[in-house]
Structures are given as C-alpha cells and as structure tokens.
Chains A and B, each alone.
Chain A
Amino acid sequence: MNAIPPAMPPSIAEFDSAGRLLSAGDRLDRLNRAAGGDVGMPFAVPPIAAIVGLAGRLGIPIARMVTVGDGEGDAELMVRADAVAGGVRLSVSGWRALHADDSDEPPAADFLKAEADWLWEADAALRLRFLSPIAGKRHGIDVDATIGQPVTRLFRLAENEGGELPMLAALAAQGGFTNQRATLREGGEELLLSASPLTDAGGRFAGFIGSARIVAGLAEPEPPAPPREFAGALGDRLERALRVPLGRIIAHADSIAAQSEGPLRADYAEYAGDIGSAARHLMGLVDDLADLQSVEDPELRLDIESIDLADVARRAAGLVAVRASEGEVRIDQTELAEPHPAQGDFRRALQVLVNLIGNAVRYSPSGGMVWIRLEREGDTVCVIVADQGRGIAPENHERIFEKFERIGATEAGGSGLGLYISRRLARAMGGDISVDSAPGQGARFVFTLPAAG
C-alpha cells in the first residue's frame, strides 16, 4: 500500500456579503485569474461561486467536491464555504491532480458480492453498519449485539507476510483491500475479508462495503508472488493508463445519463447512455487483454481448493442476470440445488462460467432459455451450459477456442478471446471445455473439473 500523500495546507479566500472576492490565497488567486476573474468580482469558476452564494444565503457551512481545469489537466478540490460576519470564507483543500493511482485495484463491487459468503459494511470509524442476516445464522453471531460495534469486535485480524493489516492500510489510504485474513471472535471460523471503499455524495471516504469468504479447506497460504515483470503486450502501466480514463468516462456518462444534476434534453441523456455503453465495451476489451496476458504467463498462479460448482454456477448466473433480462432470455437454474464439489480456483471457475453463460445469453433468441446442468461422471464434475442459439457447425468446434476467432457476423465486436481464455483456465485447473453443437440445434458447452474427495 502507498504512503498517504502529504497534506497541502488549504487555500483561503474571503468574500463580501454580495459574493464579491475580497482576498484570495495564491493558488485560489491563480485559479480565479486563469478563469478571467479578479478581486471585487464574484469568483470566476462557476461551481465555486455557487458554493459561496449558497453559504451566504443559507447561512450554513457548505462543502462539495469540485473538479476544475487546472493548467494542463484537471484537479479535484474539496471546497468548503462558511458564512462569517460580513460575508463568506472559502477554504479549498485536497488539491489533487487527477492521475492514475498505483495501488492494487480493489475488486469491483459486483465480483465482490459474487465471491462472498456474506457481506458486511462499516462506516469511516470502522463501526459495523450492516451484516448479512445469513452471517448470524451460519456462525451464530449475535447480530443484535454487533451492529454499532467496532469491526474488530467481530473479527480478529491477522497480519500478512509483510506484517501489515490490509484493512487498516486501506483505511489510511481510503481505498479498498483484498484478502485480509481474519477469524471470528465468536466461533473462530477463518475468513478472508475484502472490501471496496464507500464514498459519500461529496466524494469523501465513508467506510467499506465488504465481503467475507469462509476459508475452511484452503491449503496453507503460499508466500505472495514477487511482482512480475510484464513482458507481455499489455504492460502494467499501459493497462492502468487505459482503465483510469475509461473509468472516468463511464462514471461521468452514467451520471449525465441519470440526469443526476438536473433534467436534460432527452437526446443528450441518450447520447450519454451510448457513451457509457461504448466505454464499458472498451473496458471489457481491456479486461480481456489483461486476462489474456495472465493466462499465457507460464507462471500463472491458481488457488486450487475444494469448491462447490453448483454454488459457482448460481453466482455466475446471478452476475449475468441483468444482461439476460434485457435480452428477455431466461436462465434455468432449477438443477443447481445439489452441491457438486470439485477441485479448482474459485475466482477463475467463476470467470469461466460467466463467460460461458454470458455467451449463451448473447447468442440466445429473445424469449429463449439457457439451461445450466451439473453432472458427476466418475472423478470428473461437469457444468453444462445449453442455449437455443443458431448453433455451431462441426468444422468450427475447435476454431472457436482459438485466439481472436469470431464466427459469423460480428455484432458489437468482442475481442474473440473469451473462449480461448476460458479453455486455458479450465486446462490449467486440470479440467477442460468442450462443445457439442450443430447449426440450428443450439449449443452445449461442457466445463469439466476434477471432482473433490
């Protein structure tokens, strides 16, 4: 984890009761002049002028995060205005140029939930705000007594190999964390905790939304791999250089499309929606390229443990559910009730099934059905994903698993990497993926893993 960047002292400005600038510290003065403003006039940067005006009229302190153009790039400011005798006092801090962060990416909230056995949430003071009801039942936790307590009353946190506590380091950096080892004080079950940071509407750190995974059956933890030198086409820095701006495009496009700052002409909101979709699509391609790189790395590390493929399949179906309902495709999961233990890397198995089920949904006709079935044959467990799409001709059954192959008309072009990556992962786990299909007869993809026990 990174050291916290040194805090800059806030820059102060004073305004009279009509909102005109009386005096400003250096940084604010430069910002104001660059926008064409001067002493004796309202502040020339509109969002800041608005905050000054509101504080004066309402007579209460107002604080907001504001993004302004600062020189060549953008800067994110924490702006606070207080009504004082005779006018308004402005205090601007957190002057942060918007660059790529170089901390570990915390898990995206969706994957976090999908991998969890249960969820928890804490505020910025690390007091528990929320615990999944199922946690109480499964572990006998007295949820009644635990809400409002510090999280350390519930979890005994363990240091990692570096002597660090990932959760506390994340708290200091106001970011997320993964794989904090912990045990429950009541009952002693071993858990792996991960969390994404929560931010309030003003952009300030407001706590964690976290997941807990039960660890029973995990092999002895291996020492963390030394950071790898990426010789692959998509280096670490390049990947981040793509992700960060794409992330911002998506966030802003979503916020415009949701008209969160007020009503918009309908077609502008739609354009914003299109921008968001396109950016998400690009982000998916970046994900695929990153996966490709890690999958082709001869030192690919997998955490093989005993997993329940029925559980993984249900979670994968859940992740695809929104896409499915948009395409009016149904996913039949009725045969996923019985556990089917297998040996594999939970996260990678989830990734494979999300790929297979997602493909099935994509190629299904509107109103169609996708089936997921489980079978055990000897010492192999199979997950079968079947769809009613147009089917795949026998001569293409091997081609589809090759890199960058896409058969048939390209709808919103994907990368052509999904099945290639999935099969490599499956084989790396000691299993495989095969297909059974013919044109006009839909397709059945079979994902196998060695059975456990």
Chain B
Amino acid sequence: MSVEPIDMRGRDPASAAQMLDRAADAAPVVAAPPRLAARDLFVRDALFADDRMRAALAASMRRAVEAIDAGVRGEAAALLAAQGDTGAVSALRDGDGTALFDRLLACGALDDGPLVRELAMRAAEVLLAERLPAPIDEDPDRPALLARLAQSHEPAVASAARALAIAEARRRGDGLALAVEIDLPDAVVTRLAWHVAAALRAMTMPHGAGVDAALATATVRTLAARDGDARMEAAAMGLARAIDASPEERAILLLDALGDQRLSLFCALIAYAAELELADVRALIVAPDDDRLWVVLRAIGLDRAALARIGYALCEADPRRRIEDFADRIDTIAAIDMHGADAALAPLRLPAVFRDAIADVERRAR
C-alpha cells in the first residue's frame, strides 16, 4: 500500500504572518490519526497504517490486555481460593489468554477511540525514535544525554533521569516475560479493565454466586494498584521539570535528546517550555505536516540553526516528511515572530477536555 505524499506545494508559499494566522485559526484539537477500529489492525489490508505501525499497535494492544488480565485474574483467583471455590479458581487459571483477547476484539471492546489513539501515538513515537539519525560531531566517548543526566551533580535531575530510563525500559519490555505493568492513562484503562473482567466472567460460566463479586473486587484493586508515576510520559515531564532549562540551554538539550533517540524527553522539554500538554506536543511531532510544530518551536525561542537541525532529524526519521520542502520553507519558519507565536498557542493551552468538547460542538453545528 502506498503512502500519500504530503504536497506542500499545494499550499500558498506562506509568509510567516500567514502561518501564524493559520495556527491561531486551526481546529482547537490537535489532529489525531484517523479513527482506527481495533479489528482493522488485524486485517491484512488496513489502508491507513503501514505494516510496522500495525504490528507495533497490535503488539501493544495485546500486551495491555495481557497485563490487565494477569492482574485481575490473579487477584480474583486468590479471593475465590479463600472462599473455597476451587472450580472457579481452576476455570480462571486455565482460561486461555489468547481466546480472551479474541473475544474482546470480536465484541468491539477494543474499538475504543481513546485507547487506540493512545496506543497509535505511542507506536508512532517509538517507530520515529528508532529512525532518528545520530548527531554529527559527537564525541564517541561522551555518554549519551540520558546517561549523562543520570550522573548529574543535581540529585533531582539524576534521579529523574534514572526514573525515565527505567520507565522507558519497562515500556519497551523485552518480549521475554509477560507484560506485568499496566501502563495506560486513567482515561483509557478503566473501560478496558472492566471489559477484561467481563470476558473473564464469560470464561468461567457457569459459575457460582461469588465469582462476579470476586471479579469486581479484583478489578477495582488492580486499577487502584497502578503506580501512576511510573508511566513514561510522567517520568519525561518530571525530568524536564527537574532540568528547568533556561532559554539558552533549550536548543542544545533538545538536539541532544533527539541524538539520544529519547523522543519522549524531547517532547517533554518542549511541552514544559511552551506550557503545553505532552500528549499534544507528541501529536505535533508524529504528524508529518502540522505547521503548529514550528510555531511552538519559535515560541520557545529556537533560532534558524536549531530549527534546521530539528527539521532535518525529523525528515530523516519520518519518510512522510519531505526534506526538500522543509529546506524551501526554513526561512519562512525562522521569520515567525516569537511573541506572536506564543500568543497563537493560546487555544492549545485550554484543557484538553474543553478542546475535545469544543470540537464536538463545532462539528455538530456544521
């Protein structure tokens, strides 16, 4: 399947002022990838996601379900064992994880917009990060950024850097062990967890009275037991906060983060400096053609050289971005007025739920 090339030439060769105006008028919600039904991820001819993306999404969907499954099942089995319901315990223990996943898929429980969007964003971020080019002029003996930060003299920075490294390692997993961390935002995990519980319930039918209650308690406990701070995104923001970069330091840190392929840290540094949500910055990075990225980067004071290096790195990493077109536009981008850019970001600083609601209302009004 082919990827539609983004034709920049179709737009006006915009002046900097025009870019700002467009950014201010743009839909308040940062563009999300097209709605992906989970079932489509497993269909060979999905048209809107390439193979690597599909594979990455499918894998992370399975791992998310696996992690919740393991948590709820274990907790429920323990409760039922204490009640002496050995029949239900073995039904739970013997239940096939793959069949559970298939059942959730078939009934549409995984066709959850926010869930798929979150996993799609993560998959896109990982695939992009893998392809970021190594920095030129790098001293091969100098440790990469996160390794250096982990050894920083400032204890807050050092521990935040290590926390991010660990969170990234956990998120990646290594394919050797079952996923055990439930690493999803609250907005997304709750619905999924209750569906897993319902699927487990179906697997243990027919059953005695205590099973439903045990499953409910197990689910509540599993949801409560998650360590919110372990999530990679929170760790990245924590590190950006701890570093608290000055405007002069920003450019170097951003370029070092790209060079170390730490895209989450890159996004967090931008989000912190621009006072935006990390998820929104991530969406701007992952989209191949959203000009608001450049508005944001100008708003935090990056100069032409830094913008050029960032643009080049992103173009090398994302085949949908055209380096020739970027080179055509770099002067326009560098000419965007910093203060105007900051003002243009005001809509993005509204709470995300408000923006979603605005988009809904406007869509229906048309």
Which residues of A are in contact with B by a Cβ distance under 8 Å?
A: 53-54, 57-63, 80, 113, 116-119, 123-125, 127-134, 143-145, 147-149, 200-202, 204, 206, 258-266, 269, 318, 330, 334
Contact = CB atoms under 8 A, between A and B. Distances in A.
B134 A204 contact: yes
5 contacts: A61-B136, A125-B141, A263-B4, A269-B1, A269-B2
A259 B327 contact: no
Contacts of A58: 308-309, 311-312, 326-327, 330
Contacts of A145: 162
A132 B311 contact: no
B275 to A, nearest CB: 28
A269 B2 CA distance: 8
Given A116-B176, A144-B166, A145-B162, 9 more contacts: A54-B312, A59-B305, A125-B141, A125-B147, A127-B147, A148-B165, A149-B151, A201-B132, A204-B134
Contacts of A60: 305, 308-309, 312
Given A60-B308, A202-B133, A202-B134, A143 B144 contact: no
A124 B3 CA distance: 34
B134 A206 contact: yes
Contacts of B312: 54, 58, 60, 62
B261 to A, nearest CB: 8
Interface stretch (B11-19, B21-29, B184-192, B316-324): B316-324
Contact of A130 (B161, B172, B177, B308): B172
Contact of B151 (A59, A148, A200): A148
A119 B134 contact: no
Contacts of A262: 5, 319, 322
Interface string B124-165: 000000011110110011111011111100000000011101
Interface in B289-326: 304-305, 308-309, 311-312, 316-317, 319, 322-323, 326
A118 B308 CA distance: 40
Given A59-B305, A113-B176, A133-B170, A264 B144 contact: no
B78 interface: no
A133 B162 CA distance: 14
Contacts of B221: none
Contacts of A200: 133-134
Contacts of A134: 174, 176-177
B38 to A, nearest CB: 16
A132 B176 contact: yes
B50 interface: yes
B150 A148 contact: yes
A19 to B, nearest CB: 12
Nearest to B2: A263
Contacts of B305: 59-60
B83 interface: no
B169 A263 contact: no
B52 interface: yes
Nearest to B133: A201
A448 B173 CA distance: 33
A54 B4 CA distance: 23
B244 interface: no
B96 interface: yes
Contact of B2 (A113, A119, A201, A265): A265
Nearest to B311: A58
Given A125-B140, A201-B132, A265-B2, A258 B166 contact: no
7 tightest A-B CB contacts, nearest first:
A148-B150, A148-B147, A200-B134, A147-B165, A58-B308, A57-B327, A127-B147
Contacts of B177: 132-134
B208 interface: no
Given A118-B174, A147-B165, A125 B143 contact: yes
A143 B140 CA distance: 24
Contacts of B217: none
B289 to A, nearest CB: 14
B51 interface: yes
A417 B327 CA distance: 55
B309 A54 contact: no
A124 B140 contact: yes
Contacts of A125: 140-144, 147
A119 B174 CA distance: 7
B206 interface: no
Interface string B86-105: 00000000101010000000
B175 interface: yes
A318 B277 CA distance: 39
B329 to A, nearest CB: 10
Contact of B162 (A59, A147, A266): A147
Nearest to B181: A133
Interface string B18-61: 00000000000000000000000000000000111000000000
Contact of B304 (A59, A113, A260, A264): A59
